[in-house]
Amino acid sequence: MTSTIAGRDGRDGRVDSATGVLVILVVFGHVLLTMEGAAAAAARFWVYTFHVPAFVFLSGYVTRYSRAWSAPKIITRLMFPYIVFALIQRVLEAWLNDRPFELKPTNIPWTLWYLLALMVWRLTVPLVRRLPMGWALAVSVGVSIVGAALPWVGSAYSLGRILGFFPFFVVGLLWRDEWWQWALSRWARAIATVGIVLSVPWALWFRGIIGREEFVFARRPDQLGLAPGNAMLHRAVVLVIAATLALCVISLAMRNIAILARIGVATLTVYLLHAVVLFPWHLDGAPAWLTGIRGVALAFALSAVLAWILASPPVVAATRPLMDIRWWETKFGRAPARPAP
């Protein structure tokens, strides 16, 4: 989740800025999920075609700069905030719905699937790196496409998303720095701009053919009303569309902008806390005044402001004990002090 590039003298502000843009879109997407109306539905479909794949790509990209691979560290550092915020979300759910507290391992709390998925993806890194690049990409795409047809792959344990988004993590992990020279060139950004602009009317038309749920990878084929063969075909189409639009938005977002970079540095904090703030809307829906095209525009503005507030140094420092096990290790003398992610 963090965009730290270990092994360099400093941070790459372009990566932090791109991560900041994408985490704002994550917040925006979750606000849109709570909204009613045609405008929100159209915006929701458009955002979900590319923002999570792009986010996963950057997670894979920054993973390649980890100093050392350690399964225990990967598990503890991601499962610690998962457990803490799973309890928080379930307590909120029980309190707001006035019903008993319940915690089922198969039922992943709202936004927390990403921590579980990131843990699994990072655990596969040694295996992925042993394969030639072409084989690694082919295997990851095959896993995603075959997973779309399996009747037991869905929302349970977030297995559908873990398998479905896996190719984007692999592409980020195997991405070569010299490729940025092309991806961030003037011509590439011009093409990306055209692609993003054209994707808006395209989304209005295409969402009647393949629904948003197929870009989320959380449904079994029977829940989507698809035979296994059609589910695999749809998944292949979705992967091509998502990869194309994700590359476009990353090309445009990779700029060193201080305010966005600050949000990108605090990605984990924004990701975990925004769900707590939005949880009442998640259960009951957004307020009635947040509707229509103006409501969508206001929702984006609110999402950006919320991300900026949650990424502020006081909030990051105050909430670090909830999401960073290294804070506790440092406090009790098990690890040297280090800055918050």
DSSP string of 190-223, one letter each residue: HHHHHHHHHHHHHHHHHTTTS-THHHHT-S-TTT
In the prediction, which pLDDT does 6 show?
38
**Residue 93 identity (one-letter amino acid):** E
45-58, pLDDT tens digit by residue?
A: 999 999 999 999 99
- Distance between CA 237 and CA 107 in Å, rounded? 28
104 DSSP assignment: -
In the prediction, which pLDDT does 144 show?
97
- Distance between CA 322 and CA 265 in Å, rounded? 17
Q: Is 7 helix (H, G, I), strand (E, B) or coil?
A: coil
Cβ neighbours around 106 below 10 Å, total: 9
Tell me how far CA of residue 265 lies from CA of 19, 32, 270, 282, in angstroms: 8, 24, 10, 26
Per the rule left: phi > 0, alpha: psi between -120 and 50, beta: everything else, 100 is beta
Tell me how far CA of residue 66 lies from CA of 6, 20, 182, 329, 341, in angstroms: 6, 20, 25, 20, 13
- Whether residue 59 contacts residue 116, with contact meaning beta carbons closer than 8 Å, is answered with no
Task: Tell me which of 250 and 92 has the higher pLDDT.
Answer: 250
- Whether residue 4 contacts residue 250, with contact meaning beta carbons closer than 8 Å, is answered with no
From the list 64, 68, 44, the residue with the least C-alpha distance to 3 is 64
Task: Tell me which of 103 and 117 has the higher pLDDT.
Answer: 117
Half-sphere exposure of 151 (CA within 13 A, CB side): 2
Averaged pLDDT of the chain: 90
In the prediction, which pLDDT does 156 show?
87
- Distance between CA 335 and CA 159 in Å, rounded? 33
In the prediction, which pLDDT does 2 show?
42
**Residue 291 identity (one-letter amino acid):** T
Tell me how far CA of residue 170 lies from CA of 26, 59, 268, 334, in angstroms: 21, 10, 20, 33
241-300, pLDDT tens digit by residue?
A: 999 999 999 999 999 999 999 999 999 999 999 999 999 998 889 998 899 999 999 999
137-170, pLDDT tens digit by residue?
A: 999 999 999 999 999 998 888 999 999 999 999 9
In the prediction, which pLDDT does 334 show?
59
Task: Tell me which of 65 and 257 has the higher pLDDT.
Answer: 257
Chain centroid to Cα 121, Å, comes to: 13
